[in-house]
Structure formats: C-alpha cells, structure tokens
Amino acid sequence: MSLIEIQEIAKTYGGIHALAGCTLSFEEGHISGLIGPNGSGKTTLFNVLTGYEQPDSGSVHFDGDEITRLSPDKVFDRGIGRTFQLTRIFPRMNVVENLHVAAQRSGGFRSELSRWSSASERARAKEVLDFVGLTRLASEMAGNLSYGQQKLLEFGCIIIARPRVILLDEPAGGINPTLLRHLASRIRALNDEGITFVVVEHDMEFVMGLCHKVCVMHQGRTLCSGHPDVVRQDPLVLEAYLGTDMRETDLTRSGAH
Amino acid sequence: MAVAEAAPELLSPAEIDRAFRDPFSPSKRTRATSWILLLAVLTAFPLVFTNPAVTSIGVFTMFFLLAVVGWNIFSGYSGYISIGHAVYYGFGQYTVALLIMHLGITSGVSELAIVPLAGLAGAVVAVPVGLLVLRVRRHTFIVLTIAVMFIFQLLAFNFSSITGGSTGLNVSPPPWSGNDYNLPFYYIALGTAAIGLLTSWAVRRSKFGLGLLAIRDDEDRAKGLGIKVTRTKLIALVLSAFFVGIAGGLYAIFIGQVFPQFAFTPFYDLYLAVFAFVGGLGTLSGPVFGALLLGPLQQYFELQFGATTLYLIIYGVLFVVILLALPRGIVPSLADRYRSFLAGRWRRAEERRGVAGSGVTAGSMIASAPGAAPAERGGS
C-alpha cells in the first residue's frame, strides 16, 4: 500500500471543477513529481491534502489512516509538511525564529511554555541552517532575504520538524540555476534518509531529473503516471501540455540532467 | 534524521551562540542594566518629586504602563489590534467596587488586597469574549472588539440594580491623604507592571510566544506548521486581560467612583493602542516607552484643557507627527537606524581592510555579510 492514497477527490469553486475525481497515490521513500498545465488542480490537491481546503467528496489516507478534512495543524502533526507556490515565511521574524516556529511542537501545551531557543533546539536549528546554507543570515529578518533565500528558509522551516512527507509547490520558481542545483541536492540528501517528497513543478528538467515517478494532472484528474521517461513520451501528456500540433517540442528534448 | 551532510560536528552552545548572535543588537548585560536603571528611576521618582499633583500624574502613568504592557502581550505580539480592552478594564472596576460595597470593606489595605480579583475577573470574562471575537481577523476584529465593548457599556447602564446604572457606584477611598494616598497606588501599579513586563518577556522567549508572532505574520501558515492558533490567541488574550483588569481595579479605588461611560470607554482603548503604537508594537520595551512618554502628556493635557476636548486634537496631531517620523514606533524605528548605522560602519571598515565584496564564492550566493542582506538582494 502506498503512503498517501488519494481517492476520487472532487473540489469545485463556483463553476470551476478544480479537482474532478482525482485518484492517485504516492509511494513511501519516493520523490514523486506532479506536473500538469496551469489550472490542472495540482495546488488544489496540495491544499486538500494538507487541510487548507475541504474537498467536496473523496478521501485521503496517510499511512493507512484517513486524514481527509483534518485541519492543517493536525495534518502537520501527522508528519506532512509543505511549502507554498508563493513562498510563505514569517517576514517580521528573524531566520532562526522562523525555523523554531515549526520545531518540536507536538509536546502539548506544557512544552510550549519552555524556551524556544533551548540549547538542543538551537543546535538543531544550526544544523538545518548549515544544511540549507543560510547560517550567516541567522539573525537577519526573514523579510529582508532575497526570494531564493526565502525559498530555502521555507524549506528549512519544514525539514526542522522532521516530517515523513514533504510537499513542495513549485520549488524552482524564480530560483537561479546554481541555487536550484543546491536545492535538488538537498532534496536528494533528505530522500536518501527516507523522507518522501512530492514535487509540483513546471521546470521539466528539474522534475524529470529528480523524480522516481511522475504523475500528470489535467483538468482536475490524473492523466497518467509512471517513470519520467515513460511519461515524457506519452502522447496524451504532450497533447495536454502543448496542444496536438506541437508534439516535437521542448518536452521531449529536456531529458538530460 | 541527521540533517547535516557529513557527520555533524558537535558544536558547543557557545559556538552556536556565536553563529546566531546578532552583531548589531545590544548585549544581554546592556539590556538588563537598562531595565534595572529604569526601574530604579521609576521607584525613586515619587520620592524625589513629592508634590501630590505630580505624583498623581505618576499614578495615572503607572496605571497606563501596567495596562499597555498587558495589552501588548495579546495585541502587540499577535497583531490582533484590540480596541475592546476596556471590557476588562471596566470589569475590573466593577468587580472591585461591588466587592468593596457588598463585603463592607473599609480599610485601605484590604481594599487593595482584593485588586488581584479584578485581574481574575478580567481574565475570566476574556474567555467568552475571546471565543466570540477571535473568529474574525484584522479590520473585522477591530470593529467587533469595539462593538463588544459598547455592549458591555450598555449592560452597565441598564443593569442598574447591580451596577447603579448611570449614577454609578461609589467606592469609599482609603483613609489616607496627600502623598500617602498616592504612593501605595503608584508602587502597586509599578510592581504589577514589572510583573507584566516579566510575563511579556517570558511569553516572548517561549514557544507559545513564538507562535503568537507567527500568527501575526501569517496565521494560516502558522497553523500549517502545527501551531494551535485558537488556543494560542485565547491564552494570550486572557493573560493580557488580567493585567488590564488589575489596572481597572486600582483605578476604581484610586478615583473612588465607577461610571459606565468611564469604565467601558473607547478613549481608554485608543490610549492603549496609541501608546503601544508610538512606542513600538510587539516589542518588549516599546509599550513602556509609549506609556512613559505619552501617559504624563495625556494627563497634563487633560488637566490643562480637560474642560474642552480640544486637547484630543493636539494629541492626534502629535500622534501623526510621531508616526510620520518613526512609522513603526519609537523602539523599532530607532533600533533599525542604529543597526544600519553599525552595519554601514562595519562595511566601511571591511572595505578599508580591502576585503572588497567579502569574497564571492559559490557559498556566498546564498549567504551574505551579517546584517547586510538587503543590500545584496539582487544576489540570487
């Protein structure tokens, strides 16, 4: 059984069917890619998965337990962390404080009265900062960071909480190639330690090079899924992305990474 | 999950301190010394300036200090600007007045001894009020807090069998005179304000307080990172209401009268918000500066020009001027200027030493000089 099982999820906004009976699953230990044209429901799916949106129907199971309609904090407590398409950090808190927001919050209210910057937690934050490469900015206000640095910080905010699954919504958007390679290497390193990833991304080179499996979404449903090399050749995918007349374009050539 | 790539080198706490230290913020010792100095000055003040007219301005300022520090624990840290804290202020006043009346308390000492109950009353009433108003955010929250405050004013006017309605309640004042009258109030308020400040400090360094700051910056994101937002906000509001309730209780005994329109008054809320704004919202010391600067001024204006409410206009103009000059309030704005001054000096010193550009390596694309990040924004 897969770690995350999504069954027949539907979600409408007014007259728009953002998700129209979407069924798919993500395997434990994989880096799964989720691609699809704009408006195909990828971000809505993330929102439903993490409790930010309530689905109209369908179910989500995580490790065998149903988590449909749990609130975001409970989903997070179960071990699913996410980043956002438009990076969301806490701009008026400094970098270290940002990291500590998510760190070790499962101990009930008593633990909340303890200092957030205890020695062990600071060591942990230092480790994460070194890992994402932001140590020198530790005391800087997060809002003063560049966009790419904010993306790394948001990533750090998730990994400090040691989730089992990390959902990344367009991690490559607006990031330069050097930083992107840095990010990809961090994702692989964490994956090697057993963390499952689901990545929504439009940068095909990034997705195809990183993922074990790719799902393609179109109009609120899954179109197909499989190994990146297989998906890349699928005529349905090319049609969904590019229209029928443009099959010999970028998508087929962007394999090497 | 060991996050570091290689075997993580074990850092001593001191080394981590060094890595995290903000090079441009005052040291712990400087901060502690400043607080102790301030406390000493405030303690000495009524002993040096013994004129009762002056010390009573001091008393009102301490009442404000206590309430603003309390208000800041909720509104400052969480960003939920409450214009309804007069609910807890008024509740504190009526609690004290009714207890003194019905228990037949006459001695000044026992009157002051029941003041903590005013705080408790404020804290208790904050629970249902909080469960109601904390369902909404931002502007709607502000409007709703004002509305709730006026509901309480109307209740106080109309439940005249308990509250005395518009004729109010009398509290027999403690049988002291002159400075002997003012000093106990002054020191009790100062002491409670100090406890409030310690609470504020403890909140700021706890995970709970960090959650409040996260709620201020992005509540939905905070929730997505596991913070129990409703619980966190409600507890902060209750803490905050406790201190404002005590301010109300002290005020009722000091003045000797409780009226609906002065207990549940929008002006009080505006004062609290303005004092905190001017000093620096959501900082530890901001509300203290705000209350100590504007509290006496407010008293002076009210004494001098209280007959007309024209003084409110002067007050408003002053508020606008301060916010134009220091838009984020005195403490954060000055701290920012001090930081950029130090950062500029640091940078010039680096240049003089010829470490131009601080060495561009692959690593420096994602790191930069401490405190100098904004200047290097274009970097990545």
Q: Which residue of B211, B226, B378 is in closest CB contact with A77? A: B226
User: Residue A107's pLDDT is what?
Assistant: 62
The contacts of residue A43 (CB under 8 Å, 6+ apart) are A85, A169, A200
Residue at B324 is within a domain: no
- pTM for the structure as a whole: 0.84
Give the whole-angstrom CA distance, residue A103 versus residue A46: 22
Nearest to B241 by CA among B97, B140, B127, B143: B127
Residue at B216 is within a domain: yes
CB contact under 8 A, A138 and B362: no
Task: Determine contact: A120 vs chain B, CB below 8 A.
Answer: no
Q: Which residue of B2, B365, B373 is in closest CB contact with A179? A: B365
CB contact under 8 A, A179 and B369: no
End-of-domain residue from the set B236, B266, B296:
B266
Domain count, chain B: 2
End-of-domain residue from the set B240, B266, B292:
B266
- One-letter amino acid at B264 equals F
User: Residue B282's pLDDT is what?
Assistant: 85
Asked if residue B246 and residue B156 are part of one domain, the reply reads: yes
Asked if residue B61 and residue B204 are part of one domain, the reply reads: yes
Q: What is the pLDDT of residues B28-64, one digit of tens each?
A: 888 889 899 999 999 888 888 888 888 888 999 999 9
Residue at B22 is within a domain: no
Asked if residue B183 and residue B50 are part of one domain, the reply reads: yes
Asked if residue B370 and residue B255 are part of one domain, the reply reads: no
Of all residues in chain A, the percent with pLDDT exceeding 70 is 92
Asked if residue B70 and residue B218 are part of one domain, the reply reads: yes
Which phi and psi (to 5°) does residue B290 adopt? -55, -50
User: Residue A106's pLDDT is what?
Assistant: 60
CB contact under 8 A, B3 and A138: no
Asked if residue B251 and residue B126 are part of one domain, the reply reads: yes
Task: Determine contact: A173 vs chain B, CB below 8 A.
Answer: no
User: Residue B47's pLDDT is what?
Assistant: 84
List, as one string, the DSSP characters of B125-158: HHHHHHHHHTTS-HHHHHHHHHHHHHHHHHHHHH
Residue A193 burial by Cβ neighbours in a 10 Å radius (0-12, 13-18, 19+):
exposed
Q: What is the pLDDT of residues B296-339, one digit of tens each?
A: 888 888 777 766 777 778 777 877 887 788 778 888 888 888 88
Asked if residue B139 and residue B43 are part of one domain, the reply reads: yes
Tokens of B3: 């996050």
B79 close to B236: Cβ distance less than 8 angstroms: no
Distance from CA of A84 to the nearest CA of B (A): 9
Residue at B11 is within a domain: no
CB contact under 8 A, A126 and B377: no
B298 close to B63: Cβ distance less than 8 angstroms: no
Q: Which residue of A105, A135, A139 is in closest CB contact with B207? A: A105
Q: What is the pLDDT of residues A162-219, one digit of tens each?
A: 889 999 988 888 788 888 888 888 899 999 998 999 999 888 888 888 888 888 888 8
Each residue's pLDDT, cut to its tens digit, for chain B (380 residues) gives 444 444 445 566 677 777 777 766 777 888 889 899 999 999 888 888 888 888 888 999 999 999 999 999 999 999 998 988 999 999 999 999 999 888 877 777 777 888 899 999 999 999 999 998 998 888 899 899 999 989 999 898 888 888 887 787 888 888 787 777 888 899 999 999 999 999 999 999 888 899 999 999 999 899 888 888 899 999 999 999 999 999 999 999 998 888 888 889 888 888 898 889 888 888 888 899 999 988 888 888 877 776 677 777 877 787 788 778 877 888 888 888 888 888 888 888 888 877 554 444 333 334 444 433 333 333 33
Look up the domain containing B36 and give its range.
30-266
Of all residues in chain B, the one with the smallest CA distance to A111 is B207
Q: Which residues from chain B sit within 8 angstroms of residue A91, using beta carbons? A: 217
Residue with tokens 């992107």: A180
Q: How far is CA B105 from the centre of its chain?
A: 32
CB contact under 8 A, A139 and B380: no
User: Residue B249's pLDDT is what?
Assistant: 93
Q: How far is CA B266 from the centre of its chain?
A: 17
Give the whole-angstrom CA distance, residue B32 versus residue B123: 30
Give the whole-angstrom CA distance, residue B215 versus residue B222: 6
Q: Specify which residues A152 forms β-bridges with.
A: none
A213 close to A227: Cβ distance less than 8 angstroms: yes
Q: Which residues from chain A sit within 8 angstroms of residue B369, using beta carbons? A: 136
Q: Which residue of B21, B210, B220 is in closest CB contact with A139? A: B21
Q: What is the ipTM of this complex?
A: 0.83
User: Residue B13's pLDDT is what?
Assistant: 66
Residue with tokens 């940002």: A98
Asked if residue B239 and residue B340 are part of one domain, the reply reads: no
Tokens of B259: 């009226």
Asked if residue B65 and residue B206 are part of one domain, the reply reads: yes
Residue B189 burial by Cβ neighbours in a 10 Å radius (0-12, 13-18, 19+):
buried
Q: What is the pLDDT of residues B168-189, one digit of tens each?
A: 788 888 878 777 788 889 999 9
Residue at B218 is within a domain: yes
Task: Determine contact: A176 vs chain B, CB below 8 A.
Answer: yes
B84 close to B129: Cβ distance less than 8 angstroms: yes
- Cα A65 to Cα A10, A153, A165: the distances in Å are 19, 30, 15
End-of-domain residue from the set B238, B266, B294:
B266
Choosing among A104, A126, A131, A179, which should be mutated to test the B contact, i.e. which has the most B CBs within 10 A? A126
Task: Determine contact: A91 vs chain B, CB below 8 A.
Answer: yes
Residue at B233 is within a domain: yes
B70 close to B275: Cβ distance less than 8 angstroms: no
Asked if residue B218 and residue B360 are part of one domain, the reply reads: no
Asked if residue B126 and residue B41 are part of one domain, the reply reads: yes
Residue at B331 is within a domain: no
Distance from CA of B366 to the nearest CA of A (A): 6
Residue at B280 is within a domain: no
The contacts of residue B186 (CB under 8 Å, 6+ apart) are B46, B55, B58, B59, B62
Nearest to B88 by CA among B74, B100, B76: B74
